[in-house]
Chain A
């Protein structure tokens, strides 16, 4: 709270709001810094920094351009938060709140990327796929990240992108209706609804027939 000008000269226990008013020139300097960093980041985007540091690296493969751009953006964000948004002058608790949200966004990003990036990848230390209990690739993730799309034997319609089975082989033998997933349950509900068994069976078959034609 030291510096150029205060809007109150009273003692600080009078319950009024006392803030440090910065000079216009101070805000202009912060703005100048922001503009400089903007021009700088655009300029560096025309350079192939990976190629300069280690000749022969494909453009962008080393990630140095990306790291520099993010470092500059973070500098700019820090300028805006600290001075324009007055976090420096504010109660520290506000800064804690805000920085906390950024950290949690970081946790969200890190854990999600760790998950999606390593799905389907073989764990080279253990020689198993990510899902060790089945020995198959863990469901989900993006099909294009390594590996091929293997359709499980008990699956009629397999969604490779989602890595899950949309429709399992249906066993019509008694008691196994639930293996049919949604269809099995639908049939069971129909039964409870009191409809005749003769009417139910052809209806269910017709439904499967229509879906098979779709696939």
Chain B
């Protein structure tokens, strides 16, 4: 096999390494733009729905009184809402996360079905009192702000 030109071996090695790493970086940048899952709130998903079948995340509150178990005993349907009171229907087959309750926050990973129902492959709920999915933390702040607004009405 050909030996590297002795004088420039270090230069050749450094360039090859740089080329490979830059290639990896470019590839990563391209793939990240196409493969990252975008996060939607219910009103965003209704206004600008993602393509059917594209992996995205939907986050919001589980609407009170909306959770229904289907006849097979393992599929649940429920509505996810946000501050705008838009309701987005979601269907999920599987074991519900431990702290999945009505009126509490949830992030659903999945994709929009052709029938306009969001089909979740996985649900991330509040894990315990201290853990809230990242996307929902902001929402809790919103809610707190809203509550503060409501409770201080007329106090000025």
* A and B form one complex: no
